[in-house]
């Protein structure tokens, strides 16, 4: 890590948040994070992935935990690594009680606190999370994501306004955490569009310059485009002092996940050294946009990465058309995360679901999906709705 050069980066006056052996905040170097794409229950593979990412320079490594079986696996993983671990919770927020003793940070998504135990308020659920995090010395990340925003917030804003609900959600959660006297937290506001990431993070900082920010472009996709998109957002924000930790999310095979860490560190080093890539913005703004998730433990068919690559190859002929195709690895986040795309694909164990501008077209086998998707793409290019 080029810490000497990094010392020249401007930094917002964010407070310090300790995450195991690293700290984030304006007094500390910017921390690059990574996430395992292995099945959490596959302890050997996950330990190897954690070590791969830590060796590449990840200060914190995130693992998805959805079930009690994952919790048991996490206990074994904990025994076998000294890396700082964060856990990614989805709807089942109660798992936090089992995982908090094992990790240094818990990430929850405000948009996921609604589906489970619907009679309990989100404020109550956050109180529970704060209690267990506090008991075990864990940090918390409030991870707001454009594709799974709090439904009550979404209703308050015009259709197509993703910034308003994300910002309000993040600010409300900060206010509650403050009221609960819990300060060991950071926030992320991620969108698949780098310009939206810039906008929502800049607006957040105007309100809460004290809260450490975790930067990221969600579903940035495959390299090189995924790195370019992340760079556009992170470069803009970092050079203005915004961002204390970051992750470059890329659709790459498990064995290549270290590329995310290297890309993140390179962006930090470049910004610190004054090397900017302003031309990138132009190249990404035009033409066909393929977004795809970075994959994680929740991927339901391992051919997902190949599918994302095949979609890119099969649609090269449409490069000039300003359309978005979203390719997601699972049924948990796939339906929501493809809502705003012209064409959305999300993977199940045996079938790939296809959606066109919010309308579900059905589930197709892995052999059928590409020709079916191309039919829809051609229809959209020809001016169909
Ligand atoms: S869409 Fe599903 S598989 Fe992909 S990163 Fe998100 S949770 Fe993981």
Residues forming a β-bridge with 364: 352
Between the CA of 329 and the centroid of ligand 1 the distance, in Å, is 5
Ligand 1 atom 2: residue of nearest CA:
330
**Ligand 1 atom at minimum distance from 298 CA:** 3
219, 221, 332, 345, best to mutate for ligand 1 pocket (most atoms within 8 Å of CB): 332
d(CA 369, CA 77): 36
- Say if pTM beats, i.e. exceeds, 0.85: yes
Q: Give every CB contact of residue 265 below 8 A, 6+ residues apart in sequence.
A: 1, 32, 57
Token readout for 268 is 């930090």
CA 22 to mean position of chain CA atoms: 20
**What is the end-to-end Cα distance of the chain in Å, rounded?**
49
d(CA 157, CA 382): 32
Do 272 and 9 meet the contact criterion of CB atoms below 8 Å apart? Answer: yes
Q: Give every CB contact of residue 240 below 8 A, 6+ residues apart in sequence.
A: 10, 202
Say yes or no: CB of residue 143 within 6 Å of ligand 1: no
d(CA 247, CA 219): 11
**Ligand 1 atom at minimum distance from 304 CA:** 3
Q: What is the pLDDT along the chain (385 residues), one digit of tens a residue?
A: 445 556 678 899 999 999 999 999 999 999 999 999 999 999 999 999 999 999 999 999 999 999 999 999 999 999 999 999 999 998 889 999 999 999 999 999 999 998 788 889 999 999 999 999 999 999 999 999 988 888 888 899 998 898 999 999 999 999 999 999 999 999 999 999 999 999 999 999 999 999 999 999 999 999 999 999 999 999 999 999 999 999 999 999 999 999 999 999 999 999 999 998 876 666 666 789 999 999 999 998 989 999 999 999 999 999 999 999 999 999 888 888 898 899 999 999 999 999 999 899 999 999 999 999 999 999 999 986 6
Q: Give every CB contact of residue 71 below 8 A, 6+ residues apart in sequence.
A: 65, 95, 98, 99
The runs of H, that is alpha helices, within the chain are 3-6, 43-56, 68-80, 96-99, 122-135, 151-156, 163-179, 194-207, 225-238, 258-272, 280-285, 304-314, 334-337, 369-381
Exposure of 383 by Cβ count < 10 A (0-12 exposed, 13-18 middle, 19+ buried)? exposed
């Amino acid at each position: 890590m080029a810490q000497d050069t990094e010392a020249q980066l401007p930094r917002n006056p964010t407070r310090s948040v300790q995450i195991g052996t690293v700290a984030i905040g304006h007094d500390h170097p910017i921390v690059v994070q990574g996430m395992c794409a292995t099945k959490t229950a596959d302890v050997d593979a996950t330990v190897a992935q954690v070590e791969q990412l830590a060796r590449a320079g990840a200060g914190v490594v995130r693992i998805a935990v959805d079930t009690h079986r994952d919790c048991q696996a996490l206990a074994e993983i904990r025994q076998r690594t000294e890396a700082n671990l964060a856990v990614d919770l989805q709807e089942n927020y109660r798992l936090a009680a089992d995982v908090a003793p094992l990790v240094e940070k818990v990430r929850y998504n405000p948009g996921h606190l609604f589906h489970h135990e619907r009679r309990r308020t989100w404020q109550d659920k956050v109180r529970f999370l704060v209690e267990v995090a506090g008991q075990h010395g864990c940090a918390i990340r409030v991870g707001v994501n454009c594709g799974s925003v709090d439904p009550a917030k979404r209703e308050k804003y015009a259709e197509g306004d993703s910034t308003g609900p994300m910002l309000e959600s993040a600010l409300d959660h900060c206010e509650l955490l403050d009221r609960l006297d819990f300060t060991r937290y950071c926030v992320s506001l991620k969108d698949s569009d780098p310009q939206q990431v810039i906008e929502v993070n800049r607006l957040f900082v105007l309100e809460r310059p004290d809260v450490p920010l975790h930067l990221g472009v969600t579903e940035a996709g495959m390299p090189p485009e995924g790195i370019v998109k992340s760079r556009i957002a992170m470069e803009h924000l970092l050079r203005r002092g915004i961002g204390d930790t970051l992750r470059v999310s890329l659709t790459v095979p498990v064995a290549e996940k270290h590329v995310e860490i290297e890309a993140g560190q390179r962006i930090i080093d470049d910004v610190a050294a004054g090397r900017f890539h302003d031309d990138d913005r132009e190249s990404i703004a035009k033409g066909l946009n393929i977004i795809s998730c970075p994959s994680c433990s929740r991927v339901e068919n391992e051919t997902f990465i190949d599918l994302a690559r095949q979609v890119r190859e099969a649609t090269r002929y449409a490069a000039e058309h300003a359309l978005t195709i979203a390719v997601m690895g699972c049924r948990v986040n796939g339906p929501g995360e493809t809502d705003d795309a012209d064409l959305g694909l999300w993977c199940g164990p045996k079938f790939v679901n296809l959606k066109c501008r919010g309308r579900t077209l059905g589930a197709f086998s892995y052999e059928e999906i590409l020709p079916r998707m191309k039919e829809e793409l051609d229809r959209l290019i020809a001016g169909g709705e």
